[in-house]
A and B are shown apart, each in its own frame.
Chain A
Amino acid sequence: MTYVTPLPREAITDPELCDLIAQSETLGVPDELFPRIIARAPEQAKPFMRALLMSHAQGNVDHKLKEIMRILLARFAGDKYFASLRSRKAREMGLTETRIDEGCFAYEDDDKGFSEAEKCALRYADLMFLDADQVNKAFYDEMKKHWSEAQIMELGAFIAFHYGMQMFMRSLGAKAAT
């Protein structure tokens, strides 16, 4: 049980929030636990759910890559809740647990077959909260060889937002998906 008790699902009646929850359940990330908790602050719940879904499943960066980055960040954050969730969309696109683990722990190994663009993006997620000083001008110059400015902002915002929500769920003691 989390330190803040989730609202019962039937207590959430706002149609827009219910639609966002349905979308997230279809995707698989987050499951209903996260929205049932943030629904306790209803004015916050909708924009946060929209941002979580949009940043993960939309945009101009490969969803499978963002799914690996999301899991890498959740593991780094020590957040067992988000780390345990998996995107059905990414799975249907061919992402496997083996590939996720390679992306989290061995993306720099050439024999794993990650492109230079993918390595840069994974390094971005890896370094942002481990050693942000390394995410400097030289790092962004390297990123720009592989990604547009819009894609770099998409990736940076994705990393920042998901890590923030992972730390929030960790602080609540959310141990695993319901």
Chain B
Amino acid sequence: MRFSELMATDPEAIDAAFFDELRKYYSEEEIVELGVFIGFNLGYHTFFGTLKFYPLFSPDGRLLTQAESEKIYGPAPGSLKASEPSR
């Protein structure tokens, strides 16, 4: 989770010590898998955000129109709202 957060917000903080800490829990293969996954999502979520499309399903699994989905999920993902941190 820290890897995800820092790559987006403070990549300078990802240093040798950070990778040493990651290696206590993850193999080199898993670290690379996580890194490309994070990079991929970092790029695409920003792009998708500009397209203004919303989840196809409600939290209880109903298929939604885009207008219905916007009402449920709001104009932006919660994690992007500065006033409503996601953690």
Q: What is A's interface to B at a CB cutoff of 8 Å? A: 3-5, 37-38, 40-42, 44, 48, 78, 128-129, 132, 135-137, 139-140, 156-157, 159-168, 170-173
Contact = CB atoms under 8 A, between A and B. Distances in A.
B39 A168 contact: yes
Contacts of B19: 3-4
Contacts of B38: 164, 167-168
Contacts, number: 97
Per DSSP, are chain B's interface residues mostly helix, strand or loop, or mixed? helix
Given A41-B29, A44-B32, A157-B44, 6 more contacts: A41-B36, A132-B50, A156-B51, A161-B43, A167-B8, A173-B15
Contacts of B43: 159-165, 167
Interface residues of B, number: 33
Nearest to B31: A4
Interface of B: 3, 6-8, 11, 14-16, 18-19, 28-33, 35-44, 46-52
Residue among B11, B15, B40, B50 facing the most chain A CB atoms (10 A cut-off):
B50
Per DSSP, are chain A's interface residues mostly helix, strand or loop, or mixed? helix
B11 A160 contact: no
Contacts of A172: 35
A87 to B, nearest CB: 19
Contacts of A162: 43
A45 B44 CA distance: 18
